[in-house]
Amino acid sequence: MEIKVDECPFCHATEFIKGIQCGYAEVSGEGLHSSSLNHIICRKCGSVVRSYVDNPEKLLNKKNRKK
């Protein structure tokens, strides 16, 4: 499911860039595979408007996935 961001909730601008956080930006935990954290960033005010991982279904190990 794709969530579209049309407007910054802070400054109401409509131009965004996509960034991938480096360093400690992996999502991981007990029973999870790691995945990079992506951000949608407002070009005008620099606010992170949305954060997400690609393919969230791949975060869980096979034994921890719901059937």
- For 19-32, what is each residue's pLDDT tens digit? 988 766 556 555 55
Query: What are the C-alpha distances in Å from 3 to residues 26, 35, 44?
Result: 21, 18, 20
- Give the pLDDT confidence score for residue 48 in this predicted structure: 96
Residue, of 37 and 15, whose pLDDT is higher: 15
Give the global pTM. 0.71
- Give the pLDDT confidence score for residue 55 in this predicted structure: 78
Distance from C-alpha of 20 to C-alpha of 61, rounded to nearest angstrom: 23
Is residue 13 within 8 A of residue 7, CB to CB? The reply is: yes
Percentage, residues of the chain above pLDDT 70: 67
